[in-house]
Amino acid sequence: MEARPALSIRRSDPKQLSNLGASGAMSSSMPILPISLQEKYPKMPDSQQVSIERELRTVSMAQHVNPSVSNSAVVGHLFSSASGFSSDLHFSSASTLERHAKHTPFISQSSNSGASLPLTHSSHTGLFQSVTSSSFAKENSEWCSDTLQGILDLPDNVPLQNSQMQSGGGVASEDCARQSDWQEWVDPLINDDDNLATDWSDLLVDANVADLEPKNTYQASQQLSNFSLHQSQQKIPAHSGEVCPVASPLSSGSSAPTKPRMRWTPELHECFVEAVTQLGGSERATPKGVLKLMKVEGLTIYHVKSHLQKYRTARYRPDSSEGTSERKTTPLEDMSSLDLKTGIEITEALRLQMEVQKRLHEQLEIQRNLQLRIEEQGRYLQMMFEQQCKSGGMDKPKAPSTPDDPSAQSSELIQSPSKAKASEKDKAETENDATHVKRIEESSQQLGCKQKKPETETSDNLKPTTEGGSLSPSAKRARTHDADASSAKSTSN
């Protein structure tokens, strides 16, 4: 079977780990982790819980050393969110509310620079104390999820690779590698309970290194989610053809936990079809038989069952599988078979429909790419603001002049919003969107040279605003004030 060799090849390539390959990645489990952990952790033996809690405490304390504002904001915020989950799941108690009260001041203050750190620390220790006093299982689930989320959020420097990988489409291979690593990690975790504690601390300590290498973080977060998801008897989501069950504990929390979602690919489907034909066709083949024949790791009988069902429906009535709207047009088909001219007209109509669809597809692709780039820029700006806060603001002029393309673009984007807007308006009307961002970059770069001077002013400008509310929105607002004015004018036209 093709799956096997592919898997073994990937196994040996550690380089692929460093790509936080986008699609269906393990961090897709991030938003849904808390619930899964909540569901599953109470079932864990006490010894594990104790060790985990201990490890988490040490790790969470260690995390505070990390001066990055966004990180603590994220972590802190997620604390409250995780606590919120527990309360949602009928775990409400007075202590939970207490902790909420402690959380929120933290959140609103965490968006300020620097000064929040001591506060962070004290509120955290406060939280820690309340942990011991409250119910055991609940705490553990929350803490685990909190730390997990905090850690999964850490790799900020990776996202640039992310989007590149996404558009690169070289996902499958990375996911295979990741998976195989998960396998390697899962087995020792299952077998040796004592290892759990040590694994935790190793993983979490790794993740806490500031300015992590993407690889470390990635492995750490992989293994973390692996660990947690394994507890819930689910595998990490991946996009590859081999084994792609996707954890969706939130939904599965309400129903049976044995329904992990599978992400099928054409290759996997090929494998499936081969197995089915070997067994004598879709009617004859049984899920068990197909599962055996396919020999794909991680594939469960539920996956095969549901897929087989779909397959049967598709084969049996290929027309009806195209959607309900099909039925409405069957009378037209009779017409067309009689009248040749009508047939040609129908073809032309279909062609037109196809054109429109193609257009939508194009635009969606472009829009998606733009959205990705916007997020990249946003993250980069965020980073720069943080760095600026840390360094005290006067180093700013250096940053944009670095040879990095993205940095030049983003800083110039901030500096010249009104000019960029103007060129946007002029050019976007007459040009393809694909070249839109390029244009902005070009015009920004032209203007960038002239704008070195204003940069020092803006860095002063930034400082006072950071005390106020959240960093980037207010700074952006200051920047885009001109842009808004000009846009208001143009939209009113």
Of 471-490, binders to another protein (CB under 8 A) are: 471-473, 476, 479-480, 483-484, 487-488, 490
Site string for another protein, 161-180 (x = CB under 8 A): -xx--x--x-x---------
The one segment of 140-148, 189-197, 304-312, 388-396 that binds another protein by CB under 8 A = 304-312
* By the rule CB under 8 A, 448 interacts with another protein: no
Identify the residue among 95, 377, 451, 461 touching another protein (CB under 8 A): 377
* By the rule CB under 8 A, 210 interacts with another protein: no
- Structure-block tokens of residue 487: 């846009």
* By the rule CB under 8 A, 281 interacts with another protein: no
The one segment of 224-232, 286-294, 377-385, 459-467 that binds another protein by CB under 8 A = 377-385
> What is the rounded distance in angstroms from the CA atom of residue 142 to the CA atom of residue 403?
44
Between 7 and 32, whose beta carbon lies closer to another protein?
32
Residues 235, 239, 244: CA angle, nearest 5 degrees: 35
> What is the rounded distance in angstroms from the CA atom of residue 408 to the CA atom of residue 5?
44
CA dihedral in degrees (107, 108, 113, 114; nearest 10)?
-60
> What is the rounded distance in angstroms from the CA atom of residue 153 to the CA atom of residue 81?
14
* By the rule CB under 8 A, 446 interacts with another protein: no
* By the rule CB under 8 A, 129 interacts with another protein: no
Q: Which one, of 376, 23, 358, lies nearest residue 167 by Cα?
A: 23
* By the rule CB under 8 A, 248 interacts with another protein: yes
207 touches 150 (CB < 8 A) = no
Residues 51, 197, 139: CA angle, nearest 5 degrees: 40
First to last CA, the chain: 63
| Helix, strand counts (H, E) of the chain | 24, 2
Between 49 and 234, whose beta carbon lies closer to another protein?
234
> What is the rounded distance in angstroms from the CA atom of residue 288 to the CA atom of residue 300?
9
* By the rule CB under 8 A, 116 interacts with another protein: no
The one segment of 5-13, 51-59, 371-379, 457-465 that binds another protein by CB under 8 A = 371-379
In the complex, least distance from residue 213 CB atom to another protein, rounded to whole angstroms: 18
Between 60 and 70, whose beta carbon lies closer to another protein?
70
Between 204 and 414, whose beta carbon lies closer to another protein?
414
Between 129 and 342, whose beta carbon lies closer to another protein?
342
- Residues in region 31-50 near another protein by CB under 8 A: 31-32, 34-35
Between 54 and 351, whose beta carbon lies closer to another protein?
351
Q: Where are the alpha helices (DSSP H) in 111-233?
A: 116-133, 136-153, 159-168, 171-191, 193-208, 214-231
Please report where in the chains the tokens 């700013």 appear, as a residue.
Answer: 396
* By the rule CB under 8 A, 350 interacts with another protein: yes
The one segment of 6-14, 118-126, 134-142, 246-254 that binds another protein by CB under 8 A = 246-254
**Residue 201, C-beta contacts closer than 8 angstroms, at least 6 positions apart:** 55, 58, 59
- Structure-block tokens of residue 67: 């001066």
* By the rule CB under 8 A, 67 interacts with another protein: no
* By the rule CB under 8 A, 322 interacts with another protein: yes
Identify the residue among 48, 51, 58, 87 touching another protein (CB under 8 A): 87
> What is the rounded distance in angstroms from the CA atom of residue 6 to the CA atom of residue 390?
46
> What is the rounded distance in angstroms from the CA atom of residue 250 to the CA atom of residue 180?
25
* By the rule CB under 8 A, 160 interacts with another protein: no
- Residues in region 381-440 near another protein by CB under 8 A: 382, 413-414, 417, 420-421, 424-425, 428-433, 436-437, 440
49 touches 137 (CB < 8 A) = yes
Between 12 and 325, whose beta carbon lies closer to another protein?
325
Between 49 and 179, whose beta carbon lies closer to another protein?
179
Identify the residue among 325, 403, 449, 453 touching another protein (CB under 8 A): 325
In the complex, least distance from residue 184 CB atom to another protein, rounded to whole angstroms: 22
In the complex, least distance from residue 187 CB atom to another protein, rounded to whole angstroms: 25
Count Cβ atoms within 10 A of the Cβ of residue 205 and give its class: 0-12 exposed, 13-18 middle, 19 or more buried: middle
Between 65 and 364, whose beta carbon lies closer to another protein?
364
DSSP class of residue 28? G
For residue 45, which amino acid is it? P
User: How many other C-beta atoms lie within 10 A of the C-beta of residue 274?
Assistant: 15
The one segment of 123-131, 206-214, 242-250, 453-461 that binds another protein by CB under 8 A = 242-250
- Residues in region 7-26 near another protein by CB under 8 A: 20, 22-25
User: How many other C-beta atoms lie within 10 A of the C-beta of residue 244?
Assistant: 27
